[in-house]
Amino acid sequence: MPSPTLPHPLPITDATVLEMYGHLFAPWVRELGLCEFEVGPGRARALLPQGEALKLYAGAVCGQAIMAAVDTIVTLAMFTTDRIPKGTVYQHTHFLRPAVNDDFRIEAKVLRFGKASAFAEARLTLAAGGELVAVASSEFAF
């Protein structure tokens, strides 16, 4: 499989994260509305605004949307090295409370960059109050 062409050299930085986000992810992922990106070595952070398109009938943001947003931010954290990840191998998300009535802050941190894989954890909190909504662990192939 040929190496993908990227609009900027790696690693992703705060100066390049928006363009890389637009380049790396499918249109439906970008439609989640993630914004306020911040990246640094082995970490990424963004805001997931709650929107009507993401809500279930009872008003909570749907778990599938949250898991996709978490995977997206973990992916950005993986791109803060000079190596191109091949993709998500594993993701486990544990929901601790309903995702309602606020926007959400997602923070991902790479725990270890290995030779063939890397491991990360992510936290989803209510943006205004900081209450923990979900935690996730992920593995990426390199």
Beta carbons of 139 and 90 less than 8 angstroms apart: yes
> pLDDT in tens for each of the 142 residues of the chain?
556 688 888 999 999 999 999 999 999 999 999 999 999 999 999 999 999 999 998 899 999 999 999 999 999 999 999 999 999 999 999 999 999 989 999 999 999 999 999 999 999 999 999 999 999 999 999 9
Query: What confidence score (pLDDT) does residue 7 get?
Result: 82
Query: What confidence score (pLDDT) does residue 23 get?
Result: 95
Beta bridge partners of 108: 44, 122
Q: How far apart are CA 1 and CA 21, in angstroms?
A: 22
Tokens of 98: 């309903």
Cα dist from 77 to 35, 113, 124, whole Å: 15, 11, 15
Query: What confidence score (pLDDT) does residue 8 get?
Result: 82
Domains and CATH numbers, the chain: 17-141 (3.10.129.10)
Q: How far apart are CA 21 and CA 105, in angstroms?
A: 17
